[in-house]
């Protein structure tokens, strides 16, 4: 211990103190502050960049999701439109069919009534003609067979029977 | 006077060496058990060893 | 007993160890050879470990007192400032005369003497001559200045290389990880995220200062600044005063009036705690001093064994040992800087710690 105290050099202590203070102040100003600031700036820069990248990634995901959703919507809309169109088409077709049916039925019934009318008219005409014919025949028969009265009666009866058949 | 001083110095060295050895072996054990904490253990080990060493040197100079 | 010059030169050139800065005393001319070699080596080591007033790289011829080096200015306060060059001492061989006063070198210290340079001794063998206050630019001071300039140059360059780019260029590439290590593994864990910034300057400065100066001590220039108790005391005092001046109320409260213990214990604990605050920087001082001194002492003793054994087997043994020890010393140089910084950070952390849990 005495050796240590004996060895202690006050001059060296003084110089060391002075130089260390100067060194501390100078280095603080010219070195440590700029170096540490630069390192810190770099670190925060890296951190910011990482965060920005993360954000961009999220945004990207959002955008993708959005476009996906839009696409989905468009698809659904298209499907809806197609469906609607199909329905409309079917309805139109069905309507047209129903209309045609009704028209056809109308036409048929008209035709039927017309036919019926024609038929009645035809029958009436035929009856007229038959009556005329039968009158002519009767005339002829009467002219030809007037001698035989039995035969005349029989003929008239036959003719009347024929008319009934119609 | 000469011999007791030397003996004292020897005793100090033995004691300090034993202490530091013990710290070292414990630290090894701890690192083996928890390798993930090796950094912290090393720091604590160095501090403890430095403290013992300091006392050892102080005693050596006193001797 | 004089070794030829080339042996010494070879030694220096081969080992690149701190083995060169010396100025030996003349005491080896008589007695048996082995004993005088030992005495010479002992003297040599003692001189190497001391500060010196001139910058001697190596001694060329002891007898003719020729040294390779240059003198340094001597500044002493003895009834007024006196400045002269250390060449006046002629490596301790002559008495320097300044303004009618005579000064001589006695074991590396300047003492006041008469014209003949007589040294008076008391009965314990200590010199009783008056010792003027010595503010000389000694070899160690030169090295402190050199390291300071080197650091300023290096880190200024590094700081400038940051402008315009995010990464440092050149030397900063290697230094930046160390700075980051000190910040992330020493300062932040020990001091805490909130307060660490104001201590970073000191921690970085001290770490690099001790490390570089320890490494230079291992170089062939052979200047070991940190084995001077004055230097380590100065560093330790810095740590102590920074701790004391930045400490918060809690720190002092825990020292003088420990909470949560009985009053009697408070009174007992206060002086112990107070003593503890002094012991912490004291152990810092002693640790750095003793590690570096012990390292140099052992290294040089092993090298000195070469001259004692004088056989090829002894020399090669000490060569191998010295080489291994040099690598160990390289590690110690960094380790001591690390421990000093680490413990300083720990003490700062204690000073600013907030004890909310009490």
Cβ-Cβ contacts under 8 Å, B62 against chain A:
1
C18 has a pLDDT exceeding 60 = no
- Helix (H) and strand (E) counts for chain C? 10, 8
Strands (E), A26-127: none
Chain C contact present for A18, CB below 8 A: no
Q: Sign of dihedral through CA atoms C40, C43, C49, C53?
A: negative
Q: Which two tokens stand for residue A51?
A: 């965060």
C73 has a pLDDT exceeding 90 = no
Structure confidence at residue C295 (pLDDT): 85
* Overall average pLDDT of the A156-164 stretch: 77
Separation of CA A164 from chain center: 69
CB-CB under 8 Å, C283 with B51:
yes
User: A82-91, A130-139, C74-83: which has the minimum mean pLDDT?
Assistant: C74-83
Q: Count the neighbouring beta carbons within 10 Å of the beta carbon of residue B37.
A: 12
Residue C30's pLDDT band, with cuts at 50, 70 and 90, is very low
Q: Count the neighbouring beta carbons within 10 Å of the beta carbon of residue A28.
A: 16
Nearest-Cα distance to chain B for C216, in Å, is: 23
Residue C106, classed as helix, strand or coil, is: strand
**C335, closest residue in chain B (CA to CA):** B46
Identity of the residue in A10, A16, A28 whose CB atom sits nearest the CB atom of C201: A28
A73 has a pLDDT exceeding 90 = yes
Q: Sign of dihedral through CA atoms C50, C54, C58, C63?
A: negative
Quote the CA–CA distance of C72 and C140 in Å, as a whole number: 11
Residues 6+ apart with CB under 8 A from C259: C253, C355, C358
Residue A79's pLDDT band, with cuts at 50, 70 and 90, is very high
A61 has a pLDDT exceeding 70 = yes
Q: Is C228 in contact with A9 (CB distance < 8 Å)?
A: yes
Q: With respect to residue B51, please indicate whether it lies within any of the assigned structural domains.
A: yes
Residue B59 backbone dihedrals phi, psi, to 5 degrees: -65, -40
In this complex, the chains that touch C, judged by 3 or more CB pairs closer than 8 A, are A, B
Cβ-Cβ contacts under 8 Å, C342 against chain B:
43, 46-47, 50
Structure confidence at residue C198 (pLDDT): 86
CB-CB under 8 Å, C185 with B50:
no
Which residues 60-79 of A are in CB contact (within 8 Å) with B?
none
Interface test with C, best of B44, B55, B57 (most C CBs within 10 A): B57
Nearest-Cα distance to chain A for B59, in Å, is: 10
CB-CB under 8 Å, C286 with B58:
yes
CB-CB under 8 Å, B46 with C342:
yes
Nearest-Cα distance to chain B for A39, in Å, is: 23
Structure confidence at residue C158 (pLDDT): 86
CB-CB under 8 Å, A4 with B62:
no
Closest C-alpha to C110, from C125, C124, C126, C96: C96
DSSP letter string, C119-181: --B-TTS-B-S---EE----HHHHHHHHHHHHHHHHHHHHHHTTTTSSS--THHHHHHHHHHH
Chain C contact present for B46, CB below 8 A: yes
Q: Is C247 in contact with C255 (CB distance < 8 Å)?
A: no
Domain containing residue B29: CATH number: 1.20.20.10
Q: Which two tokens stand for residue B25?
A: 């072996």
**B60, closest residue in chain A (CA to CA):** A1
CB-CB under 8 Å, A35 with C162:
yes
Q: With respect to residue B30, please indicate whether it lies within any of the assigned structural domains.
A: yes
Q: With respect to residue B44, please indicate whether it lies within any of the assigned structural domains.
A: yes
- In this prediction, the answer to ipTM > 0.95 reads no
Identity of the residue in A10, A19, A42 whose CB atom sits nearest the CB atom of C148: A19
- The residue with tokens 């009866």 is A157
Residue A59's pLDDT band, with cuts at 50, 70 and 90, is very high
Q: Hey, what long-range contacts does B19-25 have (CB within 8 A, 24 or more apart)?
A: B19/B52, B19/B56, B20/B49, B20/B52, B20/B53, B23/B48, B23/B49, B23/B52, B24/B49
DSSP letter string, B2-46: HHHHHHHHHHHHHHHHHHHHHHHHHHHHHHHH-GGGHHHHHHHHH
Burial of A17 (0-12, 13-18, 19+ CB in 10 A): middle
In this complex, the chains that touch A, judged by 3 or more CB pairs closer than 8 A, are B, C
**A3, closest residue in chain B (CA to CA):** B61
Q: With respect to residue B34, please indicate whether it lies within any of the assigned structural domains.
A: yes
CB-CB under 8 Å, C343 with B47:
yes
Quote the CA–CA distance of C280 and C203 in Å, as a whole number: 16
**C189, closest residue in chain B (CA to CA):** B40
Nearest-Cα distance to chain A for B27, in Å, is: 33
C78 has a pLDDT exceeding 80 = no
Nearest-Cα distance to chain B for A69, in Å, is: 47
Cβ-Cβ contacts under 8 Å, C281 against chain B:
none
Relative to beta strand C54-61, strand C66-71 is antiparallel
Q: With respect to residue B25, please indicate whether it lies within any of the assigned structural domains.
A: yes
Nearest-Cα distance to chain C for A2, in Å, is: 12
User: B13-17, C55-59, C269-273: which has the minimum mean pLDDT?
Assistant: C55-59
User: A68-72, A82-86, C134-138, C162-166: which has the minimum mean pLDDT?
Assistant: C162-166
Quote the CA–CA distance of C255 and C280 in Å, as a whole number: 14
How many B×C Cβ pairs under 8 Å?
A: 33
- End-to-end Cα separation, chain B, in angstroms: 11
The parent domain of residue B26 ranges over 14-62
- The residue with tokens 């140099």 is C296
Overall number of domains in chain B: 1
Chain A contact present for C255, CB below 8 A: no
- The residue with tokens 């050892």 is B56
Residue C271's pLDDT band, with cuts at 50, 70 and 90, is confident
Q: Count the neighbouring beta carbons within 10 Å of the beta carbon of residue C297.
A: 16
Identity of the residue in C51, C144, C162 whose CB atom sits nearest the CB atom of A38: C162
Residue C190, classed as helix, strand or coil, is: helix
Closest C-alpha to C24, from C85, C33, C1, C140: C1
Q: With respect to residue B5, please indicate whether it lies within any of the assigned structural domains.
A: no
* Overall average pLDDT of the A8-26 stretch: 87
Identity of the residue in A11, A26, A39 whose CB atom sits nearest the CB atom of C152: A26
Which residues 73-102 of A are in CB contact (within 8 Å) with C?
none
Chain C contact present for A31, CB below 8 A: yes
* Phi-psi map region of C83: left, alpha, beta (phi>0 left; psi -120 to 50 alpha): beta
| pLDDT (tens digit per residue) in B8-58 | 888 888 998 999 999 999 999 999 998 888 878 887 887 788 778 777 877
Nearest-Cα distance to chain C for A16, in Å, is: 6
Beta bridge mates, C76: C82, C134
CA distances from C14 to C6, C194, C219, C326 (A): 12, 50, 12, 13
Chain B contact present for A165, CB below 8 A: no
CA distances from C172 to C144, C334, C337 (A): 22, 18, 19
Structure confidence at residue A28 (pLDDT): 87
Q: Is B58 in contact with C286 (CB distance < 8 Å)?
A: yes
Structure confidence at residue C24 (pLDDT): 36
Separation of CA C238 from chain center: 16
Kindly state the percentage of chain A with pLDDT values over 70: 90
| For the ranges C45-54, C108-117, C327-336, the one whose mean pLDDT is highest | C327-336
CB-CB under 8 Å, B61 with C342:
no
Closest C-alpha to C203, from C224, C223, C185: C185
Quote the CA–CA distance of C260 and C273 in Å, as a whole number: 15
* Overall average pLDDT of the C90-97 stretch: 69
């Amino acid at each position: 211990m005495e050796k240590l105290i004996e060895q202690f050099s006050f001059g060296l202590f003084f110089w060391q103190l002075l130089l260390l203070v100067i060194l501390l102040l100078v280095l603080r100003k010219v070195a440590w502050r700029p170096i540490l600031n630069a390192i810190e700036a770099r670190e925060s820069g890296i951190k910011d960049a990482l965060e920005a990248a993360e954000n961009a990634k999220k945004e990207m995901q959002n955008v993708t999701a959005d476009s996906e959703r839009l696409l989905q919507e468009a698809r659904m809309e298209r499907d809806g439109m197609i469906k609607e169109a199909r329905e409309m088409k079917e309805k139109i077709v069905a309507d047209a069919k129903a209309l045609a049916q009704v028209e056809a039925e109308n036409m048929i019934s008209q035709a039927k009534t017309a036919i019926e009318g024609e038929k009645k008219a035809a029958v009436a005409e035929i009856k007229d003609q038959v009556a005329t014919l039968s009158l002519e025949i009767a005339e002829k028969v009467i002219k030809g067979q007037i001698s035989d009265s039995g035969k005349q009666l029989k003929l008239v009866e036959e003719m009347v029977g024929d008319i009934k058949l119609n | 006077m000469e011999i007791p001083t030397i003996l004292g110095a020897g005793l100090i060295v033995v004691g300090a060496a034993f202490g530091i050895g013990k710290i070292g072996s414990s630290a090894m054990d701890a690192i083996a058990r928890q390798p993930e904490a090796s950094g912290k253990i090393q720091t604590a080990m160095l501090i403890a060893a430095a403290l013992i060493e300091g006392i050892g040197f102080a005693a050596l100079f006193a001797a | 007993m004089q070794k030829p010059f080339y042996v010494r030169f070879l030694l220096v050139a081969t080992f690149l160890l701190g083995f060169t800065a010396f100025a030996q005393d003349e005491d080896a001319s008589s007695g048996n050879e082995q004993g005088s070699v030992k005495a010479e080596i002992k003297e040599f080591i003692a001189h190497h470990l001391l500060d010196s007033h001139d910058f001697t790289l190596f001694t060329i011829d002891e007898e003719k007192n020729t040294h390779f080096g240059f003198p340094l200015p001597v500044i002493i306060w003895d009834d007024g400032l006196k400045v002269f060059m250390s060449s006046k001492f002629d490596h301790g061989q002559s008495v320097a005369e300044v303004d009618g006063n005579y000064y001589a070198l006695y074991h590396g210290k300047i003492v006041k003497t008469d014209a003949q340079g007589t040294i008076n001794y008391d009965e314990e063998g200590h010199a009783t001559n008056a010792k003027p206050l010595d503010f000389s630019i000694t070899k160690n001071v030169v090295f402190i200045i050199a390291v300071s300039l080197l650091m300023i140059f290096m880190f200024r360059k590094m700081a400038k290389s940051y402008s315009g780019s995010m990464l440092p260029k050149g030397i900063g590439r290697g230094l930046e990880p160390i700075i980051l290590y000190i910040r992330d593994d020493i300062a932040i864990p020990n001091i805490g995220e909130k307060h660490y910034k104001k201590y970073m300057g000191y921690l970085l400065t001290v770490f690099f200062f001790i490390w570089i100066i320890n490494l230079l001590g291992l170089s062939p220039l052979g200047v070991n600044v940190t084995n001077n108790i004055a230097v380590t005391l100065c560093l330790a005092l810095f740590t102590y005063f920074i701790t004391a001046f930045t400490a918060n109320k809690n720190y002092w409260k825990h020292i003088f009036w420990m909470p949560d213990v009985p009053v009697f214990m408070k009174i007992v604990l206060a002086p112990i705690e107070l003593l503890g605050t002094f012991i912490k920087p004291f152990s810092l001082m002693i640790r750095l001093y003793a590690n570096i001194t012990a390292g140099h002492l052992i290294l040089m003793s092993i090298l000195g064994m070469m001259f004692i054994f004088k056989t090829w087997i002894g020399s090669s043994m000490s060569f191998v040992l010295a080489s291994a020890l040099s690598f160990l010393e390289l590690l110690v140089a960094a380790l001591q800087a690390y421990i000093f910084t680490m413990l300083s950070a720990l003490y700062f952390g204690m000073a600013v710690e907030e004890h909310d849990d009490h």
